[in-house]
Structure 1
Amino acid sequence: MSPESEDSGRLQIAVGVIPDVRRRQVLIARRPDRARHGGMWEFPGGKQEPGETIEVALRRELLEELDLRVLAARPLMRVAHEYTDLRVQLHVWVVDEWLGEPRGMQGQQFEWVPVSALHERKFPEANLRIISALQLPELYLITPDLSSYGPEFFEMTRTLLTAGVKLLQFRSYRLAATERPEVLRRLSALCRESGARLVVNGDPAEARACGADGVHLGAARLMGARDRPLLRPLLVGASCHGAEELRQAERIDADFAVLGPVARTRTHPWSTPLGWPGFQKLALSTRQLPIYALGGLGPQDLDAARQAGGRGVAMISAIWSAPDPAAAFRAGLGQEAVS
């Protein structure tokens, strides 16, 4: 049974995320007042008809609704949701190329809205996971694992945040426990100043105490979790290496996962790389969860990650060990599609 038809009890809906990359906006439409969820905003799309694939349904709906002819699109995620009287599954695709200018073919209102402002509009509940995924940047930076973090580290962190880092994970196994609070306090302050979000690889209580924006669960902590450790809007990320961990990340309702290693790494030479085919197989099997590719990757791998079904790329040495870390990160920003 294909993923598109895996739950015949749900109404299958094709959804298009149509970005204006230059302005960092997406197209949304307002539902008619008399329709279900009347007056709310949504991402354009509609029901899959018998005999259609999701991609065919998406192309048909966007042509009928907005007079847009889709040239290139790729899957982003699936969202299963239960309303009181209806079970739906949204198949969300990013439309990278199209012909035409959008116009409301059925009289509907539509607007280009910054991704950062989507939460200001009222959407049906099933759309909220899409918004959360879109507000995750495609480049996820992880700190190097050091035994001490001195002035040079904090100055470089400030430079990278200025260069455009929007999601930073603090990960250190070598730093003494007594020194972690001060390092995290300083990182939290830097991220707040720049409008970036900080997640802590470690204990959820530690993340709350330092004022971070969330927690990143290592594989062992993930598998030991019984439920989601932090309430939204705090983020919960998860490190995964295979299908079992991805299923657990979905079960605890994590916001995103990191999957790898995709390539062989200097720090983990004993780990067998997934390769892009292995990453894609796992990513496409768990489309409820935005997934970052990790392991021997850099900004140059962003398009490969997208094509393999990933949200983006998580990076460590490709940035921190670059001759000019800020320039290396900015090069990746130029390739971002939706964020």
Structure 2
Amino acid sequence: MRAPIQVVAGVLRDTAGQVLVAQRPAQSHQGGLWEFPGGKLEPGETPEQGLARELHEELGVELLASRPLIQVEHDYGDRWVLLDVHLVSSYRGEPRGCEGQPLAWWPIDALNQDRFPPADRPVIQALGLPSLCLITPQDAPDPTDQGQKQRMEQFLACLERATDAGDMLVLLRAHALGDAAFAALARALVPVCQARGMRMVLNRAPGALSGLSAQGVHLTARYLHELPEPLTKRTGLLGASCHTAEDLARASDLELDYAMLSPVQATRSHPDAQPLGWDEFARLVRPARLPVYALGGLTPAELSQAWAHGAQGVAAMRGLFPAEWDSTS
């Protein structure tokens, strides 16, 4: 089996949050398209060493600090590439095209995937997602039940405290509620998320979400395999829960925006489930062609470990939702 060409790239951001892109020479592979600065690893180099060298050679800057963002395997037919992308948090110098390549600073939401090589497209997806995903507790209140009015107020207060921690994706999961109660709960949560500039995705079958203004849908692993083809006309984020390599492959083939892989560690909610552990998580995620959150027994304290094992970040319920909610249930 042929070995992949190992390529390292860096995402540099300016003070406005824009990212630096460079245009590939017209005569090169994928010529004329834009990319994130980087290049092939040399024999014996670590990704960090290769990134520092490439940024110095291509941009004339000194790398000071970075962390893993995403790894992408892509088969172009004539070559198989393993793209290892790092998010650069600190560098010294003013980037310039040292090899004559055009440079540009673009906002993340202006990164058109069609203007980049296919291997870079999951990178753009990863840049558009936060590192944390808050999953709401399963015992969410029913807003249509007047007897649960106080619990509803407590739930919203807990959500506000949880989202004070910083940018995160909010996943509303309340399987015990019927469609009408779920819709009412979603409408009540929208103002909280909007006030903090956060997106909310709904863990419900797409057909049950007509008229709701959330920013995406999150599919169960079972529903993931029932979709006949990619939802090319969808709006907003589309993600899914995954537990196996087959689940992740299906999510990649359907071109979802993200996935969650679980359980990484033992959890109270699924005590009989066999944890993957970080090494198995990394093995399963490496061939996935989309950002993958680590889920199961985790807290924000494990973010660095998650990044080091190929995760987009950490998804959590008890690890992010205030502990006092347990006492109100």
TM-score, normalised to structure 2, is: 0.79
| Distance in 1 (alpha carbons) for counterparts of 2:60 and 2:221 | 46
| Distance in 2 (alpha carbons) for counterparts of 1:166 and 1:313 | 10
Aligned residue among 119, 137, 144 for 2:111: 119
| Distance in 2 (alpha carbons) for counterparts of 1:159 and 1:166 | 13
Structure 1 residues 241 and 225 mapped into 2: Cα distance closer, same or farther (>3 Å)? same
Contact kept? 1:66, 1:104, Cα under 8 Å: yes
| Distance in 1 (alpha carbons) for counterparts of 2:15 and 2:301 | 19
| Distance in 2 (alpha carbons) for counterparts of 1:167 and 1:273 | 24
Contact kept? 1:204, 1:214, Cα under 8 Å: no
1:140-289 correspondence to structure 2 within 5 Å? 140-149=133-142, 150-229=152-231, 231-286=233-288, 288-289=289-290
| Distance in 1 (alpha carbons) for counterparts of 2:163 and 2:292 | 22
Q: Aligned residues: percent identity?
A: 34
Aligned residue among 40, 54, 70 for 1:76: 70
**Match of residue 308 from structure 1:** 309
Contact kept? 1:76, 1:311, Cα under 8 Å: yes
258-267 vs 219-228, which deviates more?
219-228
Return the letter of the residue paired with 1:123. Answer: R
Return the letter of the residue paired with 1:170. Answer: L
The offset of 1:43, in angstroms, is 1.4
Contact kept? 1:188, 1:210, Cα under 8 Å: no
Contact kept? 1:239, 1:258, Cα under 8 Å: yes
The offset of 1:114, in angstroms, is 4.9
| Distance in 1 (alpha carbons) for counterparts of 2:42 and 2:276 | 36
Structure 1 residues 100 and 158 mapped into 2: Cα distance closer, same or farther (>3 Å)? closer
Contact kept? 2:302, 2:314, Cα under 8 Å: yes
**Match of residue 7 from structure 2:** 14
Superposed CA offset, 1:263-296 (max 9, x none): 111111111111111111111232x121100111
| Distance in 2 (alpha carbons) for counterparts of 1:295 and 1:139 | 13
| Distance in 2 (alpha carbons) for counterparts of 1:280 and 1:128 | 20
Contact kept? 1:118, 1:131, Cα under 8 Å: no
Q: Which runs of 5+ in 2 are unaligned?
A: 143-151
SS at match of 1:280: helix
Structure 1 residues 20 and 173 mapped into 2: Cα distance closer, same or farther (>3 Å)? same
| Distance in 1 (alpha carbons) for counterparts of 2:73 and 2:234 | 17
Structure 1 residues 128 and 161 mapped into 2: Cα distance closer, same or farther (>3 Å)? same
Pair 1:44-2:37 in alignment: yes
The offset of 1:222, in angstroms, is 1.2
TM-score, normalised to structure 1, is: 0.76
| Distance in 1 (alpha carbons) for counterparts of 2:296 and 2:91 | 37
| Distance in 1 (alpha carbons) for counterparts of 2:322 and 2:129 | 24
Contact kept? 1:15, 1:43, Cα under 8 Å: no
SS at match of 2:160: helix
**Match of residue 297 from structure 1:** 298
Aligned-residue CA RMSD (Å): 3.6
Contact kept? 1:184, 1:210, Cα under 8 Å: yes
Equivalent pairs counted in the alignment come to: 312
Return the letter of the residue paired with 1:292. Answer: Y
| Distance in 2 (alpha carbons) for counterparts of 1:57 and 1:279 | 25
**Match of residue 139 from structure 1:** 132
Pair 1:65-2:58 in alignment: yes
Return the letter of the residue paired with 1:226. Answer: P
Return the letter of the residue paired with 1:144. Answer: P
Superposed CA offset, 1:35-72 (max 9, x none): 8764x6431134x4897989487565434311346676
| Distance in 1 (alpha carbons) for counterparts of 2:321 and 2:36 | 37
